[in-house]
Amino acid sequence: MTKSDEAVTIFLKGYNCAQAVLYAFCDEVSLEKNRALKLACGFGAGMARQQEVCGAVTGAIMVIGAFYGRGETDDRTATEQTYAKAREFMNRFAQQRGSFICRQLLGDCDLKSEQGQIRFKADNLIQTVCVPCVRTAVEIVGDLCR
């Protein structure tokens, strides 16, 4: 099973997009899977369903941070490298998906309202928008973090 398949599988089990992307990279970044699911939980649907930066994007940036981020024994160059990788990721994601903002990706479907939730299901946005975003995020971050 590919990483993107693993991410989509867990996403379709009811975990959010940020959780799914981070989960797919747990083994590579030595992060326990249950801990990863908890850490990423608030980032789904554009951060707590606020529809800001797509959760698949924030999950990917967490992966980039796990690979390149500044820890206690690192100097500031680790921060700059992480920022550069995150910007490259965001640019590539937006080129492929049209945006990295959740509400734009979902065509202004308001996930905070009951009507929006109904529309999300009726228009099958989970399959037509969210699954491709999760897959794209995993593929790009996998390429950047080799």
At residue 53, what are phi and psi to the nearest 5 degrees?
-65, 130
Q: Does residue 108 register a pLDDT over 90?
A: no
Q: Does residue 88 register a pLDDT over 90?
A: yes
DSSP state of 123: T
Q: Does residue 146 register a pLDDT over 90?
A: no
Q: pLDDT above 70 covers what percent of the chain?
A: 100
Q: How far is CA 83 from CA 52, 61, 64, in A?
A: 19, 9, 9
This prediction's pTM: 0.96
Q: Which of 123, 87, 129 is nearest to 104 (CA)?
A: 129
